Chain A
Amino acid sequence: MLVRPPKGAGRKRGAVSTSAEGSVTPQVPTLAEQLSYLHNPRPFKNPNYTKNVNRRAKNLKAVLGQERERERQEREKRRLEREQAMEVDGDAQDVPLEEDYPTYHSIEAPPSLLPQRHYCDITGLEAPYNDPVTGLRFHDKSIYELIKGLTTSAAKDYLSARGVNPIVK
């Protein structure tokens, strides 16, 4: 059985297991080292494949943006096709319907149509009342006293938990 060296030239070679490398000083390996599998042999890896070393990982925003762009292009293309099919035949039976192409963004749930219920920002109980100064919703008088004593930053934190981010320039 050919034991290929693990991928990556910089790492230590050898098919030794992860436990203490019996070198000059027999040090007790730490737990992390014991659990590490960095030096386990990986014979199944293809050493000729190096493309991904140079590539930088994209972040979420970039990936999603790219996805959206591509979706848009696809949709455009399909629409053109459909129009062409209409021109030719008079009915667009050949091109399947738009809904059959689910994409990452089209799968997303729609915004809610139900009326929003008001819950107290402090306690979580029902909140029929609203504080005009901070915008917080509260359950009753005593909680209003508490709100009056909050600092502006604390009030803003409560609001951001609800998703309301008042940005004052």
Chain B
Amino acid sequence: MDTELNITRLPTPSPPSHPTPESYDTARSAHTPLIIDNGSTNLRFGFATSESPHCAPNVVAKYKERKLGRQVLLFGDAVESDSTARSQAKTPWEGDVLLNFDALEHALDYTFIQLGIDTPTIDHPILMTERLASPLHSRALTSELLFELYSVPSVTYAVDGVMSFYHNKLPTPPIAPFTADGLVVSFNTASTAVIPILNGKGIMSQAKRIPWGAQQSTEYLLKLIQLKYPNFPTRVTTAQTNWMLQTFCEVAPDYPALLRQLRSPDALRAAERIVQFPFVLPAADERSEEELARIAERRREQGRKLQEIAAKARVEKLVEKESDLQYLTKLKTRKAEESRREWEHSLQAEGFSDDGALDQAIKKLEGDLKRARKKEASEGDEGTVRTLLSAFHYTCSLIVTPHLYLQQEEPSFPLVDVPDAEVYLPPPPLRPLPFETIDPYATQLDEEGLKEKRKQKLMKAGFEARARARREKEKEREEREAEERREAEERGRDLAGWAGKLRAEQEAIIARMKERSRRKTALSDRKSAASQARMKSIATLAADERVPKKRRKVGGGAYPLFLPTPHILKSPFSIVEDTFGADDADWMIYRKINTAAASEDEEDDLAQLQAVETKLLAHDPTFSAEHTHAARASQRSALISAFRPKYEDGDAEGNTRIHLSTERWRVCEAYFSPGMAGIDSAGLGEVIQTVLSAFSAPERGRLVQVRASSFSSFTTCSTPTTATATIPPRHTERLPHRRAAHIPGLSARLHATLRPLLPPEMPLSIVRARDPPCDAWRGMADFARTPGFARTGVTRAEYEEWGAERIRRWWGGNWNMSVV
């Protein structure tokens, strides 16, 4: 399946052309009309005598070059070549309205320079295009520009759709009057226009314009892509989206039927097209095995060294402590020798306030040393420390008190058993006792003895408790092992049964979790039964008057769970008591009210689930990672994975792919219902119906040879192919060769839309213009060659008399502000 992926790469932009200006000699002093098709996307210009127009994208960029610091003015293809130019690009058009006259001036400069004109004035009558019902501001400024700045002799404005129609339906001797009928559907960059033509005249008053064109389609597609891929690594530009629109998008002949067909994930996958964007491979961690091993070894070495250093430091401290202890005990022994005064003096010298302090210090040091010993013994880190210590002790062995050598001996608590006041004759001790001995013949324990005894009791209790805990742990371990053995036996005997049991348990836990989450969502919804019950119980708890006026009848199962059972007791003296809380179960109500808590239950469930699943995973061959709860929860539906396939995180190539499945038709469907994309306007089918309804029935019949022409919408202008085209007879429908520039499926869709609107016997034919981008220009050139052209223009004198807005009404021009 993977080999059939339709992956297309983005096209690399071609370098800009560098056209040389034409030589002017052919047209000099010939007053040939100059045809300019001023389109929103492309500018086409040329003399009326040329075969085909020059074509360039209608963008201007004027900026200061970064490298050499010089001003630069670029037009057309050249603007795409430089990134600074692209950021400074300006077009004369904004959608359908001509606004930026500086840009228009530069564009016209370019055209005249390309045509090589070097006379002080432009000596040719101009035939230029206008939008349908163009705003007068645009027209005024264009006229002003042409007349004042370039001093042209006359200007005629034409509507491009009508001109393209003219070209496709040329009257056979070109000079004959134009009397064709038809409905022109013109797809422009920012709008789509429907213009009826009767008897060769464009009926502009009945024409309609839909504010949806290629520009809006591109934006819509871009928005859809951004919604589908919010974390796309690279930026998708408008130009790239435009290319995607041209290459992949189609019009569906029956959109709802197509959607029904695409419902299954397989159909989605079959219909998708994949665009591969340029991507960067991540820097691979190409460290080989040995390197990794070396790094790990180094780390371990460092760890060990640190450990050794720490151990040494500990030992040093111990040694220090021991020396301190020795010194202090020596000091103590000296007490016996010295006199009182000297003793005090020497104590002060050491820094102890009195005997007690000295004793305390000694005791502390002893305790520390003992603990340190014990720890070392339990850790087993005997080598270094023991050797060091033994070396030390070898040098000064005699003074150190013997108890420091005691390791893990059982401490004995002799005094615990000594009753406080009883005659007791213990046996004489066989070895030196760890504590100061008392007179064995004492009959009573004195203060100190009592203290000692209490201390020993505590220690004994602690010791016993620890022993008990150890025993319990042992027991637990044994129990667990026994359990596991039992399970293993069971497994051995009947694997399927055991697995089944565990699986049932897993399902039960999952069901419980789901129920809990459902309850949670229900509680968050204000109107659900669960949350209303919760409010009721809160209200009841908080009510001041918890006593009902009448005795509450508790009966039947109809009571919701949350109502507390009446704790109200009526004592014989009619004093009502509230016994909420006497019973432990009453407090459960707070659990139910508190929506934030209840995570302990979840955690318990999760832990249990995990335990069960690990057991299943380990022993059951049929249970795999997909059956675990985690995998099931994060599973995406088949539809969504077909719609937006997910790639791994590390797959750079996969993550820079865009899959277009339903968007291919969705974007072009917006022509027929712009409401899908948020534009409150009728779609193409409806508009055509509206336009047709304004005419009488026979006229309608004449109109319904629809002509679909598209220019300046998707196309890049290229040299036109020679196509054999015959004027289609009335009854048939022709689908001429498909240009990459035009939307496939459009004619079929128009036919399907219009056929039901018309009486069945009325013939309907839909024809596409032979060369959508350049046909308007060709039509204008054809018209300019006829003598009728001279009558349609506004001359210089008329411009100065009427002003810049008024034009002459003719069959191919606008009607607003026109003189008949």
Cβ contact within 8 Å between B681 and A112: yes
A-chain residues with CB within 8 Å of residue B120 when the two chains form the complex? 2, 4, 43-44
Of the 9-residue stretches A51-59, A76-84, A87-95, which lies at the interface with chain B? A51-59
B109 within 8 A of A: yes
B-chain residues with CB within 8 Å of residue A161 when the two chains form the complex? 220, 223-224, 227, 677-678
How many of B's residues come within 8 Å of A, CB to CB? 97
Query: Contacting B205 at CB < 8 Å: which of A33, A44, A99, A154?
Result: A99
B-chain residues with CB within 8 Å of residue A37 when the two chains form the complex? 73-75, 109-110, 113
Encode A16-39 as 1/0 by CB contact (under 8 A) with B. 000000000001011111111110
Nearest CB on B from A25, distance (A): 10
Nearest CB on A from B270, distance (A): 15
Given that A46-B148, A60-B97, A111-B681 are known contacts, is A146 also in contact with B640, CB under 8 Å in the complex?
A: yes
User: In A137-169, which residues have CB < 8 Å from any B CB?
Assistant: 139-143, 145-146, 154, 157-158, 160-164
Given that A32-B74, A142-B636 are known contacts, is A100 also in contact with B205, CB under 8 Å in the complex?
A: yes
Q: How far is the CA of A41 from the CA of B666 in the complex (A)?
A: 49
B637 within 8 A of A: yes
Nearest CB on B from A87, distance (A): 25
User: In A39-69, which residues have CB < 8 Å from any B CB?
Assistant: 40-46, 49, 51-52, 57-60, 63-64, 66-67
B-chain residues with CB within 8 Å of residue A117 when the two chains form the complex? 256, 673
- Please name the residue on chain A nearest to B138 by beta carbon: A63
Nearest CB on B from A21, distance (A): 9
Given that A57-B99, A102-B205 are known contacts, is A36 also in contact with B68, CB under 8 Å in the complex?
A: no
- Please name the residue on chain A nearest to B223 by beta carbon: A161
Cβ contact within 8 Å between A154 and B230: yes
Encode B199-214 as 1/0 by CB contact (under 8 A) with A. 0000011111111000
Cβ contact within 8 Å between A140 and B639: yes
Cβ contact within 8 Å between A58 and B99: yes
Encode A109-135 as 1/0 by CB contact (under 8 A) with B. 111111011010011111000000000
Cβ contact within 8 Å between B259 and A163: no
Cβ contact within 8 Å between B682 and A113: yes
Cβ contact within 8 Å between A163 and B132: no
Cβ contact within 8 Å between B686 and A157: no
User: In B666-700, which residues have CB < 8 Å from any A CB?
Assistant: 666, 673-683, 686-687, 690
- Please name the residue on chain B nearest to A38 by beta carbon: B73
Cβ contact within 8 Å between A107 and B113: no
- Please name the residue on chain A nearest to B820 by beta carbon: A96
B815 within 8 A of A: yes
- Please name the residue on chain A nearest to B208 by beta carbon: A109
Cβ contact within 8 Å between B74 and A142: no
Identify the interface centre among A45, A102, A119: most chain B CB within 10 Å of its CB: A102
Nearest CB on B from A8, distance (A): 11
B70 within 8 A of A: yes
Cβ contact within 8 Å between A52 and B67: no
Q: How far is the CA of A38 from the CA of B16 in the complex (A)?
A: 17
A-B contact pairs, 13 of them (CB 8 A): A31-B82, A37-B75, A58-B137, A60-B97, A67-B135, A109-B682, A123-B662, A142-B640, A145-B637, A157-B226, A161-B227, A163-B678, A163-B680
Contacts beyond the supplied A46-B121, A104-B816, A107-B132: 15 A-B pairs with Cβ under 8 Å: A32-B85, A38-B62, A38-B73, A44-B121, A46-B151, A49-B149, A52-B101, A60-B94, A102-B133, A110-B690, A111-B681, A112-B680, A119-B259, A163-B675, A163-B678
